Structure 1
Amino acid sequence: MDEFARRMVVLACVFFGVLLRSTDCLSCYQCNVYIRGTPWPCDSDKGMRKVDDCHACLKTFTRSYLHNTFHDQILTNYESRVCVKDREYLKEEGCHPREVASGYMKRCFCYDDYCNASGRASVTLAALLGIIVSGIFVRKSIS
């Protein structure tokens, strides 16, 4: 096996190892949800609940119009954070917008510990490693 092929095998093993690790046993924040029938708001004294053993972290943004009287609408914005424990609901990392009844919803999936904490963008370890290794290979191929 030549040097390039060996490097590619090592790169593939590292990449998939990091990718698999990043989707198991995550810790996420959870709030603006009901837990055993009790609301857990993000801005309460309890704060955001920390949950372990997640497969993904999810942050949802919902904007809808409520009709409180005839021809009168109230715009509501709702944001929640959730620990995804069921693999069936996993999606590609990033935000997935969609139209819902009387409004709009955006679900943002991420795969790092506590990545659903704030509105800032996050870069996964797998993406960072891919960028670094790609830069090394491009640099070596140019030389």
Structure 2
Amino acid sequence: MTPDARRPRHRGDFERGTTLVELMIALVMLSLGILAIAQLFPAGARGQLRDRLATSGSYYAHEKLEILNRVPWSDPLLSVGRHPAGTATEDLGTSGVWHRHYDVTTLPAPLEDLKKVTVTVDWTFGGARSVLATTYLRR
């Protein structure tokens, strides 16, 4: 037998295990990853609030369309023009965040038996936002 065959095999110095420095570097990298992910939570919360406001605005617009769908053709609510008149708006919600108005127009011939109703709901969240809902009513 050769002397090399009788000698037990040992790992090299580079395979001995992880050092304290390597563990510290891994811990720093893990901490940076966790901090980066933690910064996403406020952005997600803002997005959720923005979407909740948009959903409420859409609800208020469709609510008004449903009301107007049930009134007779000659009702003053369906008179041509902006409602409420001028620049006034209908404040909605407990905090008055949403502002609603609607426009009624008649269509030209041969569609004079139709009225176009467009409801606009405005609110402010990081800038002016609005939702539009439109329907056509027939005589």
Whether these two folds match at TM > 0.5 is: no
Give the TM-score, by structure 1 length: 0.31
Per chain length, whose mean CA-contact separation is higher, i.e. which structure has more relative contact order (CA < 8 Å, sep 6+)? 1
Larger % of strand: which? 1
State which structure, 1 or 2, has the greater radius of gyration over its C-alpha atoms: 2
Larger % of helix: which? 2
